[in-house]
Structure 1
Amino acid sequence: MFKFLKDKVKKAISKINDKVENELPDEEVEIVEEIVEKEEKKEEKKEEKKEEKKEEKKEEKKEELETKAVGIEEVEEVRAKGLFGKIKQKINTKNISSEKFDELFEELEIALLENNVALEVIDKIKNDLKEELVDKPIKRKEIESKILKSLKQSITNLFEVDSIDIIDKIKNKKDEPYVVCFVGVNGSGKTTSIAKLANHLKKNGLSVLLVAGDTWRAASIQQLEEHGTNLGIRVIKHNYGSDPAAVAFDGIKAAKANNVDVVLIDTAGRQHSNKDLMRELEKIVRVSTPDLNIFVGESTTGNDCVLQAQQFGDTVELDGAILTKSDVDEKGGAAISIGYVTGKPILFLGTGQEYEDFEEFNADKFLKFLDI
């Protein structure tokens, strides 16, 4: 997973390190470090004095407190004069100018572009690194580690969007079923993702009902029914060509009547350029009033996946994304970009063909895959 991205980024940073080492002059910088001496004996004396105070009579306390105050002042004076020392040392550093940084960043920019990272994300990473690296003395032996650390922090910040604990949200909704609507282009893996999420919810003790809202694609209803049979979950369906909004309405009605916790609505894949189908999607959302609208995109399509999410977000308000085929995605551009570009979190990753091949997205785990 994400091997191509990992290799390209590491090679780019190694090249940047070599250029900084070979092309920039050394600058000698004087480092001043303060040291503090330990005074265990004085601390022990203070503790002894405190014990003596407790044993003294009330009449003597005022005098002793005054004496104490003087003693403390003397100790502080000694500290001010004698406790702090300074060590000076000179080290060789490299200083990257703004112009040089722009030149150096081209290596990393190419690596990110080759891995389908969105342009606005690349710009964000560039600005973050510029702030951390430009006009700041960097020790010669720490150049590569400093760049890696700055890059890791920048990518970590990309995932700082409000996360959603879907299990918690479902359990906190009382009286009515929690409704989730799935949207995306043709072939992105919506129906399979619905089945995987249904399995995940069922394993967490929640009752689920599936709605076959894709009334256009041949065999789409049968596909969802097969998943329902495998998982022991009821599927609400109409005939092909039916109004999908009506199917969604009936599904929610059935869930209410049977005290079902969650309704998962499948919808037909569509391109944002098909205005009729996008209006149909608006109607489905208007009728079913979902608690959660999830975009399902294929991770391997990279920046196209991010663009699709943006376009669907222009029609319906998205709450999060599921990225399918993440297990065979060597580039990772969609995973890096989609949260920052849409402002919505990645909820789950599809990582294989089985129902269990479905995991909650974890930014720390993602960074471990990148090995930075």
Structure 2
Amino acid sequence: MFESLKKKFSRTSDKLEEELIEEAQEENNLEEESGKKFSFFSFGKNDNKEEEDSKSDIAEIPQEVESISDEADTSDDEDSEDKKEKSGFWSFGKKSGDDKKEEPPEESAEEPKKSHFWSKNKEEDSSEVEDDDSDDETQEKKSHFWSRSNDEDSEEDEEDEPGGMFSFITAKTISEKHLEDILWELEMGLLEGDVAMEVASAVVDSVKDDLVGRKIKRSNDITEYTYNALRNAVAEIIDIPGKSMTEMIEAKKAQGEPLVVMFVGINGTGKTTTIGKLANYYLKKGYTPVIAAADTFRAGAIEQVNYHADNVGVKLIKHQKGSDPAAVAFDAVEHAKAQGKELVLIDTAGRMQTNTNLMDEMKKIKRVAKPDLVVFVGDALTGNDATQQASKFNEAIDIDGVILTKADADSKGGASLSIGYVIKKPILFLGMGQGYDDIREYDADWMLNQLFSESGEEVTVDEV
């Protein structure tokens, strides 16, 4: 999920790292450091796992150094023990990065201090290490200081990369100058991902406030600080407080009343199917729902909702086609009260937010049925359009929450990131597939983990 946003977040970190390292290089304020460069998403993983990996890497290095020292019979006796260890580390980094090649021992031990792989202009240094390198590999080394793949969209994400660690002799401080172009690119990327303008601006401002003034000692610090700044910004955006539907059912049940939920939205968003999913969801939780077929305008609408009601095994209240939808909703509420059922799900006709007559009819249903919740059902794949539609419905009828369908197929994530923040109403459920069981209650922590997991890695959370 949300692959587009993940790439934009990672690219923001990469760009800031490039900016600071290039500036430090010009200032002669850069030096190699033993250690591993962590990928952007590695900071979202278990800290203990990172510590174990770090310890295992440190333990492996002396063995590699020892084997290289045994093989390097032609090395000078004057070489200090210090020099051997540094030489062995960088040989280790190259071997782990390219399994097909085996560097001669003489090259791995020769002039380690002079062979800085970010030096673009020292031809005498580069000629000593390019005997077996192809032209493509040489260009790749010149393009990025840490030899990152040139393909930004590559799906081969590593938890960490051997070598490529830098430290600054004098700590660098992140300034607005460093962030100006980077944050502009982030904002444009968010807008391209169908994130609403005010949400994109809020994210950028939060990241700026978090990063400006940060003192950086190592290149890994840049990645970690950027990761945390982006994660904190998004966490504030997606966490809209509100009660869950399950909590509201329990509260109404304690009063001896059913929870009445009215569903609104435009045609084709999956509103009727979502009602079938919710009926199934709450049946499995031990509640007894009833569905009201209050879409009496559209041909086949009653048959469609009847199909879902039969499949999940719940009662459907319906009238003839063309009858008053408010009367259908009223009858369903009375039936639930009489039979002691805990949940009424009212299906209404899909309508565009610009259709005044149908919007007025929707207001009438609300007056008659007196729903406890008015829920807007939007299609996550429509991105910013879903956010604009929700805003219009909210202005017309004052919705209480949102359900987003097709969230599992949403690579951009614009609607999921924007809709709750823009209308200041919580997302209640996410549709995650075509089956009746493919729906989940919205959880901001789960959403955050999806946005900041590695590409292709689905973070699952057990249902409560």
TM superposition score category, shorter chain reference? 0.7 to 0.9
Question: Does structure 2 conserve the Cα–Cα contact (< 8 Å) formed by 1:16 and 1:107?
Answer: no
Question: Does structure 2 conserve the Cα–Cα contact (< 8 Å) formed by 1:211 and 1:263?
Answer: yes
Hey, what's the Cα distance between the residues in 2 that align with 1:335 and 1:369? Answer: 11
Normalization by structure 2: what TM-score? 0.64
Question: Does structure 2 conserve the Cα–Cα contact (< 8 Å) formed by 1:2 and 1:332?
Answer: yes
Q: 2:347 pairs with 266, 271, 283, which one?
A: 266
Hey, what's the Cα distance between the residues in 1 that align with 2:27 and 2:271? Answer: 56
SS at match of 1:276: helix
Hey, what's the Cα distance between the residues in 2 that align with 1:16 and 1:332? Answer: 23
Once the two structures are TM-superposed, the CA of residue 312 in structure 1 deviates from its matched residue by 0.4
**Residues 1:225 and 2:306 aligned together:** yes
Question: Does structure 1 conserve the Cα–Cα contact (< 8 Å) formed by 2:329 and 2:365?
Answer: yes
The aligned amino acid for 1:295 is F
- The residue aligned with 2:384 is 303
Q: Deviations over 1:218-240 (max 9, x none)?
A: 21111111111111111111112
Hey, what's the Cα distance between the residues in 1 that align with 2:238 and 2:442? Answer: 10
- The residue aligned with 2:435 is 354
Question: Does structure 2 conserve the Cα–Cα contact (< 8 Å) formed by 1:27 and 1:94?
Answer: no
- The residue aligned with 2:176 is 98
**Residues 1:201 and 2:282 aligned together:** yes
Once the two structures are TM-superposed, the CA of residue 27 in structure 1 deviates from its matched residue by 11
Hey, what's the Cα distance between the residues in 1 that align with 2:362 and 2:345? Answer: 15
- The residue aligned with 2:224 is 145
Alignment CA distance shift 1:91-1:208 (3 Å): same
The aligned amino acid for 1:276 is N
The aligned amino acid for 1:159 is I
- The residue aligned with 1:120 is 198
- The residue aligned with 2:44 is none
Question: Does structure 2 conserve the Cα–Cα contact (< 8 Å) formed by 1:293 and 1:317?
Answer: yes
Hey, what's the Cα distance between the residues in 2 that align with 1:369 and 1:167? Answer: 23
Alignment CA distance shift 1:27-1:16 (3 Å): same
Q: 2:393 pairs with 312, 318, 332, which one?
A: 312
Once the two structures are TM-superposed, the CA of residue 95 in structure 1 deviates from its matched residue by 2.5
- The residue aligned with 2:234 is 155
**Residues 1:324 and 2:431 aligned together:** no
- The residue aligned with 2:186 is 108
The aligned amino acid for 2:413 is G
From the two aligned structures, give the one with the greater strand fraction: 1
Alignment CA distance shift 1:147-1:241 (3 Å): same
Once the two structures are TM-superposed, the CA of residue 106 in structure 1 deviates from its matched residue by 1.5
SS at match of 2:334: helix
Question: Does structure 1 conserve the Cα–Cα contact (< 8 Å) formed by 2:16 and 2:179?
Answer: no
The aligned amino acid for 2:399 is L
Hey, what's the Cα distance between the residues in 2 that align with 1:23 and 1:304? Answer: 41
Query: CA RMSD for the aligned pairs?
Result: 1.8
**Residues 1:283 and 2:364 aligned together:** yes
The aligned amino acid for 1:341 is V
Hey, what's the Cα distance between the residues in 2 that align with 1:310 and 1:279? Answer: 17
SS at match of 2:429: strand
Question: Does structure 2 conserve the Cα–Cα contact (< 8 Å) formed by 1:15 and 1:107?
Answer: no
The aligned amino acid for 1:111 is G
**Residues 1:254 and 2:332 aligned together:** no
Unaligned 5+ segments in structure 2 are 30-167, 454-464
Question: Does structure 2 conserve the Cα–Cα contact (< 8 Å) formed by 1:302 and 1:333?
Answer: yes
The aligned amino acid for 1:156 is A
Hey, what's the Cα distance between the residues in 2 that align with 1:175 and 1:190? Answer: 28
SS at match of 2:398: coil
Q: 2:416 pairs with 335, 351, 367, which one?
A: 335
SS at match of 2:387: helix
The aligned amino acid for 2:311 is N
Q: Deviations over 1:284-319 (max 9, x none)?
A: 111111111111000011111111111100011211
Question: Which runs of at least 4 in structure 1 moved beyond 6 Å after TM superposition?
Answer: 24-28
**Residues 1:4 and 2:83 aligned together:** no
SS at match of 1:354: coil
Unaligned 5+ segments in structure 1 are 29-89
Q: 1:293 pairs with 355, 371, 374, which one?
A: 374
Q: Deviations over 1:264-300 (max 9, x none)?
A: 0001111111111111111111111111111100001
Hey, what's the Cα distance between the residues in 2 that align with 1:211 and 1:261? Answer: 14
Question: Does structure 2 conserve the Cα–Cα contact (< 8 Å) formed by 1:159 and 1:363?
Answer: yes
Hey, what's the Cα distance between the residues in 1 that align with 2:368 and 2:172? Answer: 62
Question: Does structure 2 conserve the Cα–Cα contact (< 8 Å) formed by 1:117 and 1:334?
Answer: yes
